[in-house]
Structure formats: structure tokens, C-alpha cells
């Protein structure tokens, strides 16, 4: 009984310390300074984290301000995904907003939070494609859905373990052999990894695909090993 009480006290102490460390980690941009979860340095948000106030920001911080790459969501639902510096949009980014009741997307360059010029958007960008024989990423229709199918020699690959399919927004479901995110807000970053065997089943391989899809629509991703 005594050991259980000591263990409970230790757990409560750790929870209190964690809560204190997050509460004492400040975000210096007032609109997102309500709650913070993430990395901290010298009392300021620093590194990857999520800050929520009137608005929400998820991405990297430096000295308490958004810096690097991140996604900002305003209270009215507008979003910006791209580069930040000193808490301001600075660099390449994608701004999604409502126009006449429909989603509109502006891809361009910002400097000190001001829009500088429009650039031609790329539909998607692949960051990592490892241990993959071939893959395809195809827009099939308008909408807000992404379907994933894992194949081997053109057939459904049923020899999968340690599977992970993560998107930074949307709802997830499985339909047959397809893994699906729906009600997706674009741009969206996807991370896919799993364990399977090579074509000869002579060795395990560890496929990884990381991609950001910028253009709204219904997308189909196929990974073939």
C-alpha cells in the first residue's frame, strides 16, 4: 500500500512539473498565446509546437515566435501554410481563404507579413521516397479526399506490418484495401511508412513516403513494391 502511495505521488509530481513547464513556456504572438504544447528554450517556445489562442499555429518556433515552416489558422477559418520569420509570413506560402462562399487559394511570396508576388503553385511536393519501387500521386476529381493503396507487383500488398499513415488534418477511415483521409483542408502533409518484404521475399524493407499536397481535390496515392 505504501509503495502504491509513493508511486501515485511521483506521478502527480511529474504531471505538475510538466504542466508548469508548458505554462511557463511563452508564445510572444498575442493571437496564439493562450495554450502551448511543444518544445521550449529559456522560457520561450522554441522548436516544433502548437500554440492556440484566438487563432492557431502549428509548426516551428524561435524565441517565442513562429519561425521556419508552419500552418496558421485564423478564427474565421482562413489558413496560411508556409515560411515564417519573426512571427510574420516571410517566404513562400499558400494562403487559403473564402471568396463568394468557396475556397480560394493564393500561392506566392510574402515579406514581413505582406504579399509580394504570386507564383505558380505546384500540385504536390515529395520530400522522401525510400524503399519504394514506384509510386503515383494522381488527382482524380474535385473534392477534399486522399486515398492510399499499397501494392506489390500490381496487386494488393497484404504483407504489411508497422503501418502508419498520418495527415496533419482530416478524418481517417479504411475501406477495403484503401486507407482514406476525407474532409481534408489543403495544403496537407502526409507521412506514410510501413514494413514489408521485397519482391523475392528475401529481405524486409521499410518504405517511407512524405509528401505535401497543395492543390485541393480528390487524390489517389499508390505505392508499389
- DSSP at 215: S
| Residue owning grid cell 505538475 | 16
Written as nine digits, the cell of 34 is 493562450
- pLDDT score, position 49: 96
- Residues 225, 219: contact at Cβ < 8 Å? no
- pLDDT score, position 158: 92
Q: What are phi and psi of 47, to 5 degrees?
A: 110, -160
- 205 — pLDDT class (breaks 50, 70, 90): very high
- The structural domains of the chain, ordered by start, are 2-118 (2.20.110), 124-224 (no CATH)
- pLDDT score, position 19: 40
Bridge partners (DSSP) of residue 22 are none
Q: What percent of the chain has pLDDT over 90?
A: 75
User: Looking at residues 27-42, what average pLDDT do you find?
Assistant: 96
- pLDDT score, position 32: 98
The string of pLDDT tens digits covering residues 65-80 is 999 999 999 999 999 9
SS3 percent helix, strand, coil of the chain, rounded to 5, is 10, 60, 30
- DSSP at 34: S
Q: Look at 220 and 187; give whichever has higher pLDDT.
A: 220
- pLDDT score, position 99: 77
- Residues 195, 160: contact at Cβ < 8 Å? yes
- pLDDT score, position 166: 96
- Collect all residues with Cβ–Cβ distance below 8 Å to 176 and sequence separation of at least 6: none
* C-alpha distances out from residue 113 to 49, 57, 107, Å: 21, 15, 14
- pLDDT score, position 200: 86
- pLDDT score, position 190: 97
- 103 — pLDDT class (breaks 50, 70, 90): confident
Written as nine digits, the cell of 131 is 524503399
The string of pLDDT tens digits covering residues 153-195 is 889 999 999 999 999 889 999 999 999 999 998 889 999 999 9
- 101 — pLDDT class (breaks 50, 70, 90): low
Compute how many other C-beta atoms are within 10 angstroms of the C-beta atom of residue 149: 17
Compute how many other C-beta atoms are within 10 angstroms of the C-beta atom of residue 161: 9
Lowest-pLDDT range of 19-23, 29-33, 119-123, 127-131: 19-23
- 1 — pLDDT class (breaks 50, 70, 90): low
Stated length of the chain: 225
Amino acid at each position: 500500500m505504501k509503495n502504491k502511495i509513493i508511486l501515485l505521488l511521483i506521478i502527480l509530481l511529474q504531471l505538475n512539473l510538466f504542466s508548469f513547464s508548458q505554462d511557463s513556456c511563452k508564445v510572444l504572438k498575442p493571437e496564439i498565446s493562450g495554450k502551448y504544447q511543444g518544445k521550449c528554450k529559456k522560457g520561450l517556445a522554441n522548436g516544433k509546437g502548437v500554440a492556440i489562442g484566438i487563432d492557431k499555429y502549428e509548426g516551428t518556433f524561435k524565441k517565442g515566435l513562429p519561425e521556419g515552416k508552419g500552418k496558421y489558422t485564423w478564427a474565421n477559418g482562413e489558413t496560411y501554410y508556409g515560411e515564417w520569420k519573426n512571427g510574420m509570413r516571410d517566404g513562400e506560402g499558400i494562403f487559403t481563404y473564402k471568396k463568394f462562399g468557396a475556397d480560394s487559394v493564393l500561392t506566392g511570396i510574402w515579406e514581413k507579413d505582406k504579399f509580394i508576388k504570386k507564383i505558380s503553385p505546384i500540385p504536390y511536393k515529395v520530400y522522401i521516397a525510400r524503399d519504394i519501387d514506384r509510386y503515383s500521386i494522381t488527382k482524380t476529381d474535385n473534392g477534399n479526399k486522399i486515398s492510399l493503396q499499397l501494392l506489390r507487383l500490381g496487386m494488393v500488398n497484404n504483407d504489411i506490418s508497422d503501418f502508419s499513415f498520418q495527415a496533419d488534418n482530416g478524418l481517417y477511415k479504411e475501406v477495403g484495401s484503401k486507407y482514406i483521409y476525407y474532409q481534408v483542408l489543403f495544403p496537407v502533409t502526409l507521412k506514410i511508412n510501413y514494413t514489408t518484404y521485397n519482391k523475392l521475399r528475401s529481405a524486409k524493407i521499410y518504405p517511407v513516403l512524405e509528401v505535401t499536397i497543395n492543390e485541393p481535390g480528390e487524390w489517389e496515392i499508390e505505392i508499389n513494391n
